[in-house]
């Protein structure tokens, strides 16, 4: 046994890597590869920008309030994600582990936390707080964004979980403060 293989962190990393390998198999299927690439691209911001444009049109003043919260949450989320990625300097799974291909080029070098997941959760929480009917659209989309990060070999499950937790925390704070 290699040094540290029996420690909890080493075992957790082994689980992280194994889940990444299994999730990356989605790239072997044409529909899976296309689906996760599209979801990932939409999660880059275009989906959220389009939604921010539509919300005031469909929900008036409530929509404007939600968009203002989205803007604030977006700025804070970006700053927090960048700071955590710089601080942790965790590399992406496809760089460190054979058998985990990159399905798309990453937006930056850092793996921890998943910024796509952080933003998707933060925006979804903020939107659904005032417009709960949109949960039927946002929950599946947000889960797909999180899954895409694994399937495309860009993040470990712990990166995605941390992104979700941080995004939920930022959104909850924004809802209390706004």
pLDDT tens, residue by residue, 114-170? 999 999 999 999 999 999 999 999 999 999 999 999 999 999 999 999 999 999 999
- What SS3 state is found at 68? helix
Q: Which CATH number fits domain 8-177: 3.40.50.720, 3.90.1150.10, 1.10.606.20, 3.30.70.660?
A: 1.10.606.20
Q: How far apart are CA 123 and CA 78, in angstroms?
A: 12
Q: How far apart are CA 37 and CA 148, in angstroms?
A: 7
Residues 14-66 have pLDDT tens digits of 899 999 999 988 888 889 889 999 999 999 999 999 999 999 999 999 999 99
Helix/strand/coil percentages in the chain, nearest 5: 80, 0, 20
Q: Are 135 and 8 in contact (CB under 8 A)?
A: no
Q: Which two tokens stand for residue 128?
A: 């659904």
**Which of 143, 158, 150 lies closest to 25 in space, CA to CA?**
150
């Amino acid at each position: 046994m290699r040094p540290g293989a029996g420690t909890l962190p080493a075992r957790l990393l082994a689980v992280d890597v194994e889940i990444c390998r299994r999730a990356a198999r989605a790239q072997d299927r044409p529909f899976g590869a296309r689906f996760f690439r599209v979801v990932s691209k939409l999660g880059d911001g275009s989906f959220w920008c389009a939604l921010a444009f539509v919300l005031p049109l469909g929900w008036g003043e409530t929509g404007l309030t939600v968009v203002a919260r989205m803007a604030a949450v977006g700025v804070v989320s970006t700053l927090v994600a960048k700071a955590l990625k710089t601080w942790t300097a965790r590399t992406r799974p496809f760089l460190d582990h054979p058998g985990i291909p990159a399905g798309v080029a990453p937006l930056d070098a850092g793996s921890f936390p998943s910024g796509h997941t952080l933003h998707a959760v933060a925006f979804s929480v903020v939107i659904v707080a005032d417009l709960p009917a949109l949960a039927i659209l946002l929950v599946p989309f947000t889960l797909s964004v999180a899954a895409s990060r694994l399937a495309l070999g860009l993040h470990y499950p712990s990166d995605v979980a941390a992104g979700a937790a941080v995004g939920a925390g930022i959104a909850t704070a924004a809802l209390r403060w706004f």
